[in-house]
Structure 1
Amino acid sequence: MTMPDHPGKVGKTAVLCFSPNDGGMEHDAAFMAQSIAEHLTECLLVVREGTWLQQYARQHDIPCEAIAFRGSFSLTAIGAMRRLWQQHDIRNVIFLGASEIHSIHFSIAPPVKTFIVRHGTTKSSSKKDLVHRLTWSRVTAHWCISEHLKRNVTELFPIGKARVFVNYPGLGVKLAYLPRARPLTKEDATLRLAHVGRLVAGKGQRDALEVVKQARSRGVPATLTCFGSGSDRNELEARIARLGLKDAVTLAGHVAHPYQHFGDFHGFLYPSRGEGFGNAFAEALATGMHCFSYDNTVFPEFRQLGFHFHMVEDRNHEALSDAVVSVWENREPLPMDNIALCHELFSTATEMRFLAEYLA
């Protein structure tokens, strides 16, 4: 596919994401390709053939090449990537993913000058053995989307001479049209809470159910709407029934752009246990909504950046319930200062300006 001309001084760039899924990372890859093309230089999105991301790129006119990629190591994929770098004169490669680096490593050759891996999730196992040191040896920079992830990457990955930097994700045009959160008034008969995320263990839905149950047992008419789909749905439905929450909890399933519905809610309940950054949490902050989280991973960093929200001891859903009850009983005013801070810290222009320093 031919990419449009661009007057930028940064060399042509390729964003790689070979995941077959349609979650946050895949959306980030598509949005990144669009943002680089808008702010910096010509950009090509490279994906696995037959995936949701290929279809999304086609629907949104994102310059895209899809390659056959089976498993994490593919000679066919290596050859295809090398041809793409030559054909499009690619100087920068940015990868979102994990295991496919075994193939990408062998594709990195002139004209490519920089190879950046963007880290968006917390890892638990070390990558410093001999095989990983080889496959990560051509990485020139590690892009971490939070200070928490920078510490995680520095501890577990073979850094060598590569640079490690933090660059927060830009929320892009969302900042311009995110709705304002619903104010909590004395006239409200229900405390409306939301959660956004894949339905998987550890993402916070299970703990959120416990929080809602405890809040309702203390007289707070709380409801919860969970946006997202995933493998944990059956387990969540069983827990909803067991806790007697069928009239209080809605599993809305996959909804395009769930942040567009944030104006219907008073609070964002997010007891996740493993966020690398928490895009949905940042989006909720940007509406001025009451937000609730555990004290783990990236959430203390949000507090250090100056955001106002309720953060309690990790995995203590009783304390999280106390915070929800307090907001209801005191009819706490919305933390509207969070909106301006999100515009300052999470603009796409800021993200791209910082990224340019690491591109050839």
Structure 2
Amino acid sequence: MPIELRRRRALRLAWGIALCLSASYGLGLPVPILAPIFALLLLAMRSQPLPLRAAPALALLVLISAGSGLLLIPVLRHAPVSGVLLVGLGLFVCFRFSLRGGNGLLANLLVIGLTMVSAAGASDFTLALLVVEAMAKGMLLAVLSVIMAHQLFPEPADAPAMPTPPLPSAEEGAWIALRATLIVLPAFLLALIAPDRFMPLVMKSVSLGQQSCETSVRQAGRELVGSTLLAGALAIVVWGGLSLFVHLWMFFLWTLLFALLQARRLYHVVTTQQSPGFWLNCLTTMLILLGQSVQDSAAGQDVYRAFAVRLTLFLLVSLYSCAMLYWLDLRRRRQVDEF
């Protein structure tokens, strides 16, 4: 891929995320960090521009995917064990669908709907409706931001499509989907206890589950834990810079700068030993940490204590993800040796 095209895609990704984030917080959307994360997914998974009519279509897709979580709320309330098993089965089907060549965006939306919406609704149905509203409005804003980013940095007509990773075999895909499901489930169980406290952990675990589908066992520690540590360090730097002059436009500029630094490595403008999944997870985690810190500050909470607790939880779930990858790989090898 030509270096100029990679630079253009990196600029588009950074500008799309920064524009979406500033608009989301400026408009005061519920759960404002969802919109830039959706914009990140749309820009990272697709290099071609989206038509304007895709905005209502994708918002409708969000509502449909969130409906899967709403349907599970009565089961989680009255038969919690069966409800958790159904959520686990749904996660496995979604990850398996993605690994067999299905639409990755749809699979991600279904996973978010199954986990965040159902966990919120298990304790308060109004909270679940708020999450659904946040997802729909966030997707609308994300699509508009992606369209604007493509207007600023258009894709050349003769540009090659983004490479598609090879699909695993049916048996290997089932194992990968199983380990991704087991990575997401513990955070989901914690969110059932206190959704307002552990919802960011669910978002992080979904990102880790998706990343685990593309990570080998050898690289698990560096990919999952290393990207989380780097994201925490970058979030601290951005927060320190933002605290010097607190303004929405400064939030936009700091996000643009650090998103561009990571996007250049994601698209190999700057050569590194890390995979694109490493930088995608790092950028996602940094956005979640920053977004929650802004929300804590607006609510008058102790930002530094909340950040330390949240980063510790993110590291613990990353270590758990590594352990799950190693354990399932060991189990699989033993089964192969027995046969």
TM-score by length of 1: 0.26
Structure showing greater Rg:
1
Decide which structure has greater helix share: 2
Instruction: Indicate the structure whose relative CO is greater, using CA pairs within 8 Å and at least 6 residues apart.
Output: 2
TM-score by length of 2: 0.27
